[in-house]
Structure 1
Amino acid sequence: MAQPPSQARVVIIGGGVIGCSVAYHLTKLGWKDVVLLERKQLTSGTTWHAAGLIAQLRATANMTKLAKYSQELYGSLEEETGVATGFKRVGSITVALTEERREEINRQAAMARAFGVAVEEISPSEVKDRYAHLNIEGVTGGVYLEKDGQGDPANIALALAKGARQQGAQVLERTRVTGIRREGRRVTGVDWEQGRETGFTAADMVVNCGGMWGHEVGRMAGVNVPLHACEHFYIVTEAIAGLSQMPVLRVPDECAYYKEDAGKMLLGAFEPDAKPWAMNGISPDFEFDQLPEDFDHFEPILEAAVERMPMLAEAGIHTFFNGPESFTPDDAYHLGLAPELDNFWVAAGFNSIGIQSAGGAGMALAQWMEAGDKPFDLGDVDITRMQPFQGNKTYLFERSKETLGLLYADHYPYRQKATARGVRRTPFHQHLLNEGAVMGELAGWERANWFAAPGQTPEYEYSWKRQNFFDNVASEVEAIRGNVGMYDMSSFGKIRVEGRDATAFMNHIGGGQYDVPVGKIVYAQFLNVRGGIEADVTVTRLAETAYLVVTPAATRLADQTWMMRHVGDFNVVITDVTAGEGVLAVMGPNARKLLQAVSPADFSNETNPFGTAQEIELGMGLARVHRVTYVGELGWEVYVSADMAAHAFEALHAAGQEMDLKFCGMHMMDCARIEKGFRHFGHDITCEDHVLEAGLGFAVKTDKPDFIGRDAVLRKKDAGLEKRLLQFRLTDPEPLLYHNEPVIRDGEIVGYLSSGAYGHSLGGAMGLGYVPCAGEAAADVLASEYHIDVAGTRVKAEASLKPMYDPKSERVKA
């Protein structure tokens, strides 16, 4: 048996389908010295027992692009390698059994059209025409994707491995990685064991493709890879006479999927209460193993399936299979450069969609490794979205019970996870609960999303229509537009940058001008070399050598990692101080009046104009106020050290009683910001959205030299914009927008909404979305007729480049 070399450009740990895909795509890019190490045999972890469903449509445009790429790759692999992949385009049908689910799948169909995926909405009778074996009682509708398919999971992986070998990669089985060595922020190589032989392979890079062992492999390198294995069940029937090739069928309302294979029927389950597995670790001997049967657990799924597919009642069960698969806290896989290190990559945690994802994920990661930058926005799956605490084993055990079932649960807007809650609480948590707060969770933070009225049950009632908090949020928006509201922003990331080179560093990494007076606040972006937006932040100069960078809660780690990777020779220290301060936003025309009631400080435009901060006394304590807004009103963000946060809340609350102060939540903030046209990072602006096309050129100061992305900004100014971010408002006040709804310009689909919410002040649902405009003047873009496709219905929309609410920002500067 060949042994690993003493030196490699990259060592890939794990020989499942994703490890093989990464090796294949790196060698396709011309990489030499690619080594893949598999502890047992290729595919022996979870790949070998995957169901092999291969769907195109995913939740975002880029994830769909990767899934479509996987399909195309698997269709050509057999010819390239001679290994039969079993890939067949058999089509797929998803059926709805409720009106809510029908709305969901119709919205998915509209999204598919925007993403360029062939899709067809079909009636219950048309479902029956395409799937004669199905009992359509209770079916409310369906969608059909003709190019979806199925394949042989193990052979797809083996074909990728062979393709990698043909290009010069070494793929070594029965070679277990026993340790990962590191120096500072870099790994130097891996220790391995092969039979009785041991050794070390030095490596420029290491990729963790460990599957359900990914968490353990990450720990070897000091890297957090949150995932947990769960038991995953399916049955395969005996051969059924006359059963021919059928589309893949999904019945999510019954937690079931069906696949015909060689005249037999496979029935799989994504049950709502899953069974986490291997809390104390996975046996080192695990190889092509099955887990004990649990028919009682599977029986409710089977009973519903026999009703839905009557022929199952007559078919014998050939195989009852239970095998482990890994699931992440948010049901998205992990991809990218680990935040803890600068040359350790991750591709793991594929949540039962590893076969359909592996081709595209391997391609994307290989391009990222080659170029050193993401090839396009991968924020949905970028490993830096995971918070350090999410590697906690108890947390993963509790959350994984839910995440398996969420794959087939109703994907309602604003749906909150029910498990593993309450981990991160702001200093105002109990105060807000006392006021009727209904909490949501983001990055582990418990955040007040809306406030229940007296006598109203403080919990979500989910729907695709107006949910039970719609009127509550409307009244919260009304309060901040007409009086004063207060909401908790403590979860937003706070990163302190200090040192003698702090100003020079900030001017290098950010597009704004940071050589400003102490107390000045600068809104700006961190750009990549293409002019794409890596972070959307506000930066306050606290002292001559200190700045506070405020980021979205979900991207604090990613933004801090970006900064740390660009420190170079700058003499600065970068520290996460998020938990050190509570933050209350006081917003509305009477915000100044409320603050004057609790503080002797001067909040006038002369002393504290928009975009400045000052230290103040508040009640009997101290605070710092930043005059900025994300809701488009006069207001301040009040920063208070954690020890005095409760006192500050109580002082503001007491003073607010005479002013009818209203407590507000994150849903209000989202509705208000979209009325003002403020961008939401991760939706409206990402690493592949050019800062000028996003309409944020005002925040970029090209007269300063040598900041990251400057050349790309100047090139775009010369070349002109290829797309523009427009604000839309539906003229019909009834339909609701969330995101990904197709944008139709003069009858043709030209894009999709990057975000959506209801404009309570403007009387209709609103969205932001990019529209191609190469060679067009702004007036030409706005002269067109626009519609938005809402679940298959085209709704007329107004479009604007300027904010529809307070376009001159007169209210903000009052």
Structure 2
Amino acid sequence: MSTGTTPPESAGTVVVGAGCVGCSAAYHLAEQGREDVVVLDRGPLFETGGSTSHAPGLVYQTNGGKLMTELAAYTRELYTDLDSYRTSGGIEVAYTEDRWKFLKRKYEWGQSYGLDGGELLSPAEIEERVPQIDSTVIHGGYHLPTDGKAHAVDASRKMAERAQEVGHEFYGDTLVTDVETSDGAVQAVVTENGRIECDELLVATNIWGPLFGDMVDTDIPLVPCSHQYLVSEPLDELAGAEREIEQPLLRHQDYSEYFRQHGDSYGVGSYNHEPLLVDPEDIYGPEKLDDLGLEYPSLREFAAEHFYENTHPDHDESAYDAARELVPAFDGVEWETEMNGMFCFTPDGMPILGPDEETDGLWWSLAIWVTQSGGVGSVIAEWMDEGVPRLDGERVNADPAHISRFQPHAGSREFTYGRGAQQYQEVYQLIHPREQPEDQRALRRSPFYDRQDDLGAEFYDTNGWEVPQWYETNESLLSEYEVPDRPDWLARNWSKAQGVEHQAVRDRVAMFDMTTFTGIEIAGEGTMEFLQRLLTNDMDCPVGRMRYAAMLNEDGGILADLTVARLDRDRYLLTTGGGNSATLHSRWIREHAPESLSITVHDSSRSGVGVWGPEARELLGPLVEADLSNDEFPFYAVQETYLESLPVTMLRLSYAGELGWEIYTPTEYGARLWDTVWEAGQEHGIVPMGWEALASTSLEKGYRLWGTDVTPEYTPDEAGIGFAVDTDTEFIGKEALLAAREAGVDRKLTPLTLDASGMVVDSGHPILDGEDVIGYGCRAGYGYSIDAGIVYSYLPTEYADAGTSLDVRYEGERYAATVRDEPLFDPEMERMRG
């Protein structure tokens, strides 16, 4: 293996970072057949001094998100094959009743995402496996036998050795000082030991990622943080612990701690202190490291006050007090090892993966723990080599980690450090999915914000937007509409106003803020031909009409489902969601569009309202110059017209499944648009409607939601939108889609309703046939119009027939459910076409 300090003058691909992430990427590129790869690191190989060097290597596979669970499971398998993984099992204990209920849900996530062998343990059963704990202070735990410890440095070395067999070269003690670009593409990597011309560069430096972003003018929203790890002196309780069965890893998440065995000593890792953020500039150049006198640049001096004093803003005990309560042997113990080790967080806690948007040939693979490192290497290598992210050759939804998910404000230091600190603080906290951050709020507000605030809007942060989820003023209508109660966890951060709004839009008329929806306007000679190649449906529709279409990657996976309106012969308007869907989808479109076309992304330049419900036509008719009759303005039509004095684009469709229009206008007209519709709507009993009601109304109608039930993991046929595919046209992903059809569709997105009246469950929980897990709920909620809980799941086709009886497991209970035909509400679409 090359261990010198003089790298070659050129290479096809350069990887910066020889920790477990960079080495995994190199190993998988070798598996893809890549030979001309050079891997660099500022430190020695392979104990480079980054997070890989000091990480305790705990691999807890179960995660609330499918992607992170799959990456961890792959990492376990890979490192086991490399003989760099010890299977010990992992236990997460519940100190509170809330945590015990949470662990029941987490156990079910493991079942949903394919992890075998998970079990819920009593306190006594945990003590049998970890005798030194005090089992009287816990309620139970979740145990996954295949969790364990990865030896990250050893795995890095072995992956590098295998990559070297096909010609990869590795150079340590090689500090990168610059990245050269020209004409929007990578040209070379400059090091203290020479310049390397290259076609591709993968940055896999984790805590130093923002410094490389500075070299190429790319914002990398990532902040290094330090947390504490200590190893005790030998404990009597572990004397003779050199036994065949190693103790399971242990997590005490209610106090942000974890534990692992070191022979007859015991280690404790603690996040139980205030966030300790580090500037990457302070830990990169050797001149900044020599004065620290520490073994690795990713270490800080141990800060005893953060262990023995309570500095965590959400806890009531210090790390030491919490640790010795669970493990009494720690009382008065001496510590053989004490350190503050560094790792990093992004504003949403997810990795940063994918190709740079502005610089061709530049790739990022950052903010990754040892837990997911092996799997990330597989994904990024396939992405670099084949143009599509895959995990072990299979389609995967990498969108939650895509670098283009970030919005413009995420590049600011204030936002990155503020939200990064929050992610650190909450990494082990019991955070409700609907709990909202308090820091960095009200960054993006629609022109309606003040009006909505006056109506008691409950705002959620959505990629910086303040988005109303429901309106407290609608609770006054509970005497008219019946809304079932919810069980404790699902009732938190929720209001019965959502059920009121759902039923009111079916009963009268509602208005919904569409400002966060993004319009992508494409114009110029050849627009129709371009869209024909980009989208699955026939785009040669008449001017003034719309089509529903999917946008696929080369694997036939769904990148987006879009409403496409033809405004003129060579001018189309594509509508997608807001925030990260807007940036991801518009990027794909720009990258594939010819330079001759004009592409305008209306992500903030327009505002809009949806006016939906049986009385929508009566409300809007007197206000709009256009004739709103069915003959003149039929369903799935579009017109540019005026609403009183306001220029508007009106689309006749409704994601709620009701008669109505989406109405868009330039942002400066937005406040007037809201006021005009609101005032005219008073005689019709208009109600403001939030996102929770839109979610439940669309769920009843079976309308797909990007990011949950429509993702790149699935084809249109699997997702039940094959009707939006015209195989007489040529489009990206067609070959793969036809091949999948030829092989046969073996799973299908399918609705189930819970048999118990008033019952509702959350998404992510397993669907059972007997004891067999056959799917999981990718989307779930309550259908107030059909008065039933709804779960959508990708089921094997043999289970997808209406009337099939199955079960849904939620918080340890089984709930009978029945497969249904879709749509569940208004199957003839009489309401929307009325």
TM range (shorter): over 0.9
1:357 is matched with which residue? 372
C-alpha distance in structure 2 between counterparts of 1:551 and 1:603, whole Å: 24
SS of the residue corresponding to residue 473 of structure 1 reads helix
Query: Aligned ranges for residues 793-804 of structure 1 at < 5 Å?
Result: 793-804=813-824
Query: Aligned ranges for residues 77-226 of structure 1 at < 5 Å?
Result: 77-78=82-83, 85=84, 87-117=85-115, 118-194=117-193, 199-226=194-221
1:3 to 6, 12, 19: 6
Counting aligned pairs with the same residue, the percent is 31
Counterpart of 2:303 in structure 1: which amino acid?
D
C-alpha distance in structure 1 between counterparts of 2:831 and 2:283, whole Å: 59
CA distance 1:517–1:158, shift in 2 (3 Å): same
Residues 412 and 462, structure 1, Cα contact 8 Å, conserved in 2: no
- 369-378 or 578-587, which deviates more: 369-378
C-alpha distance in structure 1 between counterparts of 2:169 and 2:464, whole Å: 41
- 100-109 or 391-400, which deviates more: 100-109
1:232 to 213, 222, 227: 227
Deviation sequence 1:740-767 (CA, Å, 0-9, x none): 2111236532111111122222223212
C-alpha distance in structure 1 between counterparts of 2:475 and 2:781, whole Å: 26
2:68 aligned with 1:75: no
C-alpha distance in structure 1 between counterparts of 2:667 and 2:432, whole Å: 35
Q: TM-score, normalised by structure 2?
A: 0.91
SS of the residue corresponding to residue 146 of structure 2 reads coil
Report the CA distance between 1:119 and its aligned residue: 0.0
Residues 227 and 391, structure 1, Cα contact 8 Å, conserved in 2: no
2:296 aligned with 1:288: yes
2:676 aligned with 1:677: no
C-alpha distance in structure 1 between counterparts of 2:180 and 2:281, whole Å: 24
1:527 is matched with which residue? 552
Report the CA distance between 1:138 and its aligned residue: 4.3
SS of the residue corresponding to residue 398 of structure 2 reads coil
Report the CA distance between 1:109 and its aligned residue: 0.9
Report the CA distance between 1:716 and its aligned residue: 4.5
2:430 is matched with which residue? 410
Report the CA distance between 1:465 and its aligned residue: 3.0
1:732 is matched with which residue? 756
Deviation sequence 1:713-758 (CA, Å, 0-9, x none): 4444555422111011111135432222111236532111111122
Query: Aligned ranges for residues 7-86 of structure 1 at < 5 Å?
Result: 7-41=10-44, 42=46, 43-78=48-83, 85=84
C-alpha distance in structure 1 between counterparts of 2:219 and 2:519, whole Å: 21
Deviation sequence 1:227-281 (CA, Å, 0-9, x none): 1111212222222124134211111111111111132222112347422222865
C-alpha distance in structure 1 between counterparts of 2:259 and 2:400, whole Å: 28
CA distance 1:3–1:279, shift in 2 (3 Å): closer
2:407 is matched with which residue? 387
Residues 619 and 647, structure 1, Cα contact 8 Å, conserved in 2: no
Residues 237 and 266, structure 1, Cα contact 8 Å, conserved in 2: yes
Report the CA distance between 1:556 and its aligned residue: 1.2
Gaps spanning 5+ residues in structure 1: where?
79-84
1:749 is matched with which residue? 773
2:350 aligned with 1:332: yes
CA distance 1:454–1:601, shift in 2 (3 Å): closer
2:430 aligned with 1:421: no
SS of the residue corresponding to residue 47 of structure 1 reads helix
Residues 208 and 280, structure 2, Cα contact 8 Å, conserved in 1: no
C-alpha distance in structure 2 between counterparts of 1:597 and 1:463, whole Å: 46
Deviation sequence 1:601-642 (CA, Å, 0-9, x none): 322111211111222322432222111111111111110111
Residues 474 and 501, structure 2, Cα contact 8 Å, conserved in 1: no
C-alpha distance in structure 2 between counterparts of 1:333 and 1:729, whole Å: 35
Residues 497 and 572, structure 1, Cα contact 8 Å, conserved in 2: yes
2:801 to 745, 766, 781: 781
CA distance 1:239–1:719, shift in 2 (3 Å): closer
- 604-613 or 268-277, which deviates more: 268-277
Deviation sequence 1:757-799 (CA, Å, 0-9, x none): 22222223212111112xx5x9x73353221111232211121
Gaps spanning 5+ residues in structure 2: where?
290-294, 310-317, 477-485
SS of the residue corresponding to residue 449 of structure 1 reads strand
Report the CA distance between 1:463 and its aligned residue: 5.5
CA distance 1:283–1:27, shift in 2 (3 Å): closer
Residues 237 and 329, structure 2, Cα contact 8 Å, conserved in 1: no
Report the CA distance between 1:372 and its aligned residue: 1.6
C-alpha distance in structure 2 between counterparts of 1:659 and 1:355, whole Å: 58
Counterpart of 2:219 in structure 1: which amino acid?
N
Query: Aligned ranges for residues 683-694 of structure 1 at < 5 Å?
Result: 683-694=708-719
Residues 452 and 469, structure 1, Cα contact 8 Å, conserved in 2: no
Residues 606 and 664, structure 2, Cα contact 8 Å, conserved in 1: yes
Query: Aligned ranges for residues 255-294 of structure 1 at < 5 Å?
Result: 255-271=256-272, 273-278=274-279, 282-285=283-286, 286=289, 288-289=296-297, 290-294=299-303
Aligned length: 790
CA distance 1:218–1:182, shift in 2 (3 Å): same
C-alpha distance in structure 1 between counterparts of 2:825 and 2:199, whole Å: 52
CA distance 1:161–1:716, shift in 2 (3 Å): closer
Residues 188 and 197, structure 2, Cα contact 8 Å, conserved in 1: yes
SS of the residue corresponding to residue 692 of structure 2 reads helix
Residues 72 and 371, structure 2, Cα contact 8 Å, conserved in 1: yes
SS of the residue corresponding to residue 192 of structure 2 reads strand
SS of the residue corresponding to residue 663 of structure 2 reads strand
Report the CA distance between 1:73 and its aligned residue: 1.7
2:689 to 658, 664, 689: 664
Counterpart of 2:515 in structure 1: which amino acid?
S
1:81 is matched with which residue? none
Counterpart of 1:16 in structure 2: which amino acid?
G
CA RMSD of aligned residues (A): 2.2
CA distance 1:495–1:282, shift in 2 (3 Å): farther
2:658 is matched with which residue? 633
Residues 520 and 575, structure 2, Cα contact 8 Å, conserved in 1: yes
2:336 aligned with 1:310: no
Report the CA distance between 1:310 and its aligned residue: 1.0
C-alpha distance in structure 1 between counterparts of 2:535 and 2:569, whole Å: 17
Report the CA distance between 1:468 and its aligned residue: 4.9
Residues 25 and 380, structure 2, Cα contact 8 Å, conserved in 1: yes
Deviation sequence 1:151-205 (CA, Å, 0-9, x none): 33333333333333344211111212222222334212212222xxxx3212121
2:482 is matched with which residue? none
C-alpha distance in structure 1 between counterparts of 2:131 and 2:375, whole Å: 33
- 150-159 or 579-588, which deviates more: 150-159
Residues 70 and 359, structure 1, Cα contact 8 Å, conserved in 2: yes
Report the CA distance between 1:676 and its aligned residue: 0.8
SS of the residue corresponding to residue 88 of structure 1 reads strand
Residues 455 and 473, structure 2, Cα contact 8 Å, conserved in 1: no
Counterpart of 2:336 in structure 1: which amino acid?
H
Residues 500 and 545, structure 1, Cα contact 8 Å, conserved in 2: yes
Residues 528 and 709, structure 1, Cα contact 8 Å, conserved in 2: yes
- 709-718 or 570-579, which deviates more: 709-718
Report the CA distance between 1:341 and its aligned residue: 3.3
SS of the residue corresponding to residue 64 of structure 2 reads coil
Deviation sequence 1:574-622 (CA, Å, 0-9, x none): 2322111011111111122222243343221112111112223224322
C-alpha distance in structure 2 between counterparts of 1:749 and 1:609, whole Å: 44
- 279-288 or 142-151, which deviates more: 279-288
SS of the residue corresponding to residue 230 of structure 2 reads strand
1:438 is matched with which residue? 458
2:416 is matched with which residue? 396
C-alpha distance in structure 1 between counterparts of 2:15 and 2:536, whole Å: 37
C-alpha distance in structure 2 between counterparts of 1:600 and 1:560, whole Å: 32
C-alpha distance in structure 1 between counterparts of 2:670 and 2:470, whole Å: 21
Report the CA distance between 1:336 and its aligned residue: 1.8
Deviation sequence 1:440-462 (CA, Å, 0-9, x none): 11222221112224899xxxx99
